[in-house]
A and B are shown apart, each in its own frame.
Chain A
Amino acid sequence: MMARVVHAIQCIGCPIGCGGEVAVEDGVVAEMTGFTCNKGLAYAAEEVVAPKRMVTTTVRVSGGGLPLLPVVSATPVPKDRIFDCLRLLRGVTVVAPIAEGAIIVADALGLGVDFRAARDIASL
């Protein structure tokens, strides 16, 4: 017997913010309505099965012109591992100077996601 579940999904791919529905049958996406671009369809399909988010936070800087360095995940992180990543980054201190794009933590928690510097920080 087929179990059909319909999820209402609000797309966050861009500021237009399409609302749509994803019907899942036995764990597989069966039908999607309301989304208006391929990016939205891909987001909605992933959102019902394995939601992911980009993660941005800061890490401590030693010897820099500023006390904090903003960092960003190079790719989205599984939603249920966001706080694990934040806990890992809370313990990180980087030494200035730092160049934008530098890898601050490679393959965080074995998730295959790098965290990169979001800006330059000059040394003092």
Chain B
Amino acid sequence: MREFSYDVAIIGGGPAGLAAALAAREAGAERVLILERDRELGGILQQCIHNGFGLRRFEEELTGPGYAHRYIDLVKATDIDVWLDTTVLAAEPGGVITSVSPHAGLTVVRAKSVVYAMGCRERTRGAIRTPGSRPAGVFTAGAAQRMVNMEGYLPGREVVIVGSGDIGLIMARRMTFEGAKVKAVFEIMPHSNGLTRNIVQCLEDFGIPLYLGHSVTAIHGKDRVSGVTVSKVNDKLEVIEGTAFDVDCDCVLLSVGLIPENELGRAAGLGLDPITGGARVDQFRQTSIPGFFAAGNVLHVHDLVDWVSEEAAIAGRSAARHARGELVASGRQRSVTAGEGLRTVVPQCLSAFEPGKMSVRFYFRAAKPMGASLLQFWADGALAFERKLRVVKPSEMIVADIPVRKIGDAATLEFRVLPAPEKIDAEDEIEEEA
């Protein structure tokens, strides 16, 4: 068994891993390694052939592969090592990473810092407990996306999509482009979980109906899917009797949420956030185990890759500083909580600030859609900072920079989102610039 040593080892070569590796190298880590289980770098972006990526990061609209290639080219221009077809089996405290690959067999890497960048995976039929038979033709939307865009297979001709996540919406258009008939999208919640522009461009453009407040209550078919039964649900998400109807189809695509692919972190004993499913991190994206960092969808599921790149750069820089012994044990950590109107906040705790630090950027998910709102920051029970938001949607992450002087020495830090007393004009909203 061969052994290697690195300053920073990054698990995953998708957008988070690529940005973390570059930032670590730029911040002075001399030996940086990316471990990637797929045949090439780029992660899920390689199958996201639609455009709309990179508006913030590159100020132009790129396709998924286009965005990935910008970063792959930057990595190739450095001396960062990349191991492809390499699956990490364990990453243990102390920075011992065990991996396996067809060409190198079992390998151990000793790293001063480790960055988790494994991304996320899709929730499946089991996760939403859809009753019925177990026929062929039921896929997660992302699996179908890989088949259609990379492997050259069409998973069905008459399609029903369950859930209104972005990948499902994108696949509604993609399947339509490839000659399939997409009959409907059914979303159990009273609001869509996808970006507004995807509702317009992927459904409305092609007359594909979106049924909100509807649940697929059964999947039918013996060998192949033959149809689904759908019912309306009430505000407790309970099926309303007498509203059931059937839709014939030969393919069901599920777009019912994403969960961090965090088995390695869980096995290593990281402190987890039960809501995001990812690690609890401080502003350096350091987890509860010193020297272990996390960024991107393995930390919390993002809607824009631009934010993934930015967050991963923070983790990469911090990992480089830790490898050099510059990220000192932070001492007292203060906990940050998502209060009224919010579901999640990242980072979940704050360590001591770096000298000269002016602000800390926080990322939030709202609990429910709201119109004009106020994002409030409460320090030790007193309102310390307030920002106007024109609109709040659970599908779109809220990003806010909080000045360090507003945070001060407060021991308890809480964020809330409340309805704004009056309508907010565009000029009043401050957009955070990356």
Cβ contacts under 8 Å, B107 to chain A: none
Question: Are the CB atoms of A12 and B65 closer together than 8 Å?
Answer: no
Cβ contacts under 8 Å, B396 to chain A: 15
Whether, in the assembled complex, B177 has its beta carbon less than 8 Å from a beta carbon of chain A, the answer is yes
- Which of these, A10, A13, A56, A119, contacts B69 with CB under 8 Å? A119
A86 CB to nearest B CB, Å: 5
Whether, in the assembled complex, B426 has its beta carbon less than 8 Å from a beta carbon of chain A, the answer is yes
Question: Are the CB atoms of B49 and A17 closer together than 8 Å?
Answer: no
Q: How far is the CA of A67 from the CA of B197 in the complex (A)?
A: 30
Cβ contacts under 8 Å, B50 to chain A: 56
Cβ contacts under 8 Å, A11 to chain B: 197
Binding-face segment, B96-104, B149-157, B246-254, B340-348: B149-157
Total residues of chain A contacting the partner, CB 8 A? 27
Question: Are the CB atoms of B200 and A10 closer together than 8 Å?
Answer: yes
Chain A interface main SS type: loop
Q: How far is the CA of A57 from the CA of B152 in the complex (A)?
A: 11
Question: Are the CB atoms of B205 and A118 closer together than 8 Å?
Answer: no
Whether, in the assembled complex, B303 has its beta carbon less than 8 Å from a beta carbon of chain A, the answer is yes
Question: Are the CB atoms of A15 and B195 closer together than 8 Å?
Answer: yes
- Which of these, B51, B195, B303, contacts A56 with CB under 8 Å? B51
- Which of these, B152, B204, B390, contacts A68 with CB under 8 Å? B152
Q: How far is the CA of A120 from the CA of B50 in the complex (A)?
A: 16
Question: Are the CB atoms of B46 and A119 closer together than 8 Å?
Answer: yes
Which residues of chain B from 369 to 395 have any CB-CB distance to chain A below 8 Å in the complex?
A: 390-391
Q: How far is the CA of A66 from the CA of B304 in the complex (A)?
A: 27
Per-residue interface assignment for chain B, residues 33 to 50, with 1 indicating a CB less than 8 Å from any chain A CB and 0 otherwise: 000000000000010011
Which residues of chain B from 155 to 202 have any CB-CB distance to chain A below 8 Å in the complex?
A: 177-178, 195-197, 199-201
A101 CB to nearest B CB, Å: 9
Cβ contacts under 8 Å, B12 to chain A: none
Whether, in the assembled complex, A54 has its beta carbon less than 8 Å from a beta carbon of chain B, the answer is yes
Which residues of chain B from 196 to 242 have any CB-CB distance to chain A below 8 Å in the complex?
A: 196-197, 199-201, 204-205
Whether, in the assembled complex, B61 has its beta carbon less than 8 Å from a beta carbon of chain A, the answer is yes
Question: Are the CB atoms of A56 and B49 closer together than 8 Å?
Answer: yes
B432 CB to nearest A CB, Å: 12
Question: Are the CB atoms of A54 and B61 closer together than 8 Å?
Answer: yes
- Which of these, B46, B51, B205, B303, contacts A72 with CB under 8 Å? B51
Whether, in the assembled complex, A84 has its beta carbon less than 8 Å from a beta carbon of chain B, the answer is no
Q: How far is the CA of A68 from the CA of B396 in the complex (A)?
A: 32
Closest to B49 in A: A70
A1 CB to nearest B CB, Å: 32
Question: Are the CB atoms of A86 and B177 closer together than 8 Å?
Answer: yes
Question: Are the CB atoms of B49 and A118 closer together than 8 Å?
Answer: yes
Q: How far is the CA of A86 from the CA of B196 in the complex (A)?
A: 24
- Which of these, A36, A79, A86, contacts B426 with CB under 8 Å? A36
Question: Are the CB atoms of A67 and B46 closer together than 8 Å?
Answer: no
Per-residue interface assignment for chain B, residues 44 to 76, with 1 indicating a CB less than 8 Å from any chain A CB and 0 otherwise: 001001110001000001010110110000000
Whether, in the assembled complex, A53 has its beta carbon less than 8 Å from a beta carbon of chain B, the answer is yes
Question: Are the CB atoms of B51 and A54 closer together than 8 Å?
Answer: yes
Interface centre among B68, B391, B426 (most CB of A within 10 A): B426
Cβ contacts under 8 Å, B178 to chain A: 57
Cβ contacts under 8 Å, A70 to chain B: 49, 63, 65, 149
Whether, in the assembled complex, A26 has its beta carbon less than 8 Å from a beta carbon of chain B, the answer is no
Question: Are the CB atoms of B197 and A72 closer together than 8 Å?
Answer: no
A19 CB to nearest B CB, Å: 8
Question: Are the CB atoms of B196 and A10 closer together than 8 Å?
Answer: yes
Contacts A57-B177, A86-B177 given; does A79 touch B205 at CB 8 Å = yes
Q: How far is the CA of A72 from the CA of B201 in the complex (A)?
A: 16
A54 CB to nearest B CB, Å: 5
Interface centre among A56, A66, A79 (most CB of B within 10 A): A56
Contacts A17-B195, A100-B69 given; does A53 touch B201 at CB 8 Å = yes
Cβ contacts under 8 Å, A60 to chain B: 152
Question: Are the CB atoms of A67 and B152 closer together than 8 Å?
Answer: yes
Whether, in the assembled complex, A3 has its beta carbon less than 8 Å from a beta carbon of chain B, the answer is no
Whether, in the assembled complex, A58 has its beta carbon less than 8 Å from a beta carbon of chain B, the answer is yes
A113 CB to nearest B CB, Å: 14
Cβ contacts under 8 Å, B63 to chain A: 56, 70, 72, 118-119
- Which B positions have Cβ atoms within 8 angstroms of A? 46, 49-51, 55, 61, 63, 65-66, 68-69, 148-152, 177-178, 195-197, 199-201, 204-205, 303-304, 390-391, 396, 426
The 10 A-B residue pairs with the shortest CB-CB distance, nearest first, are: A17-B196, A70-B49, A119-B65, A12-B197, A36-B426, A118-B63, A67-B152, A118-B65, A10-B200, A56-B50
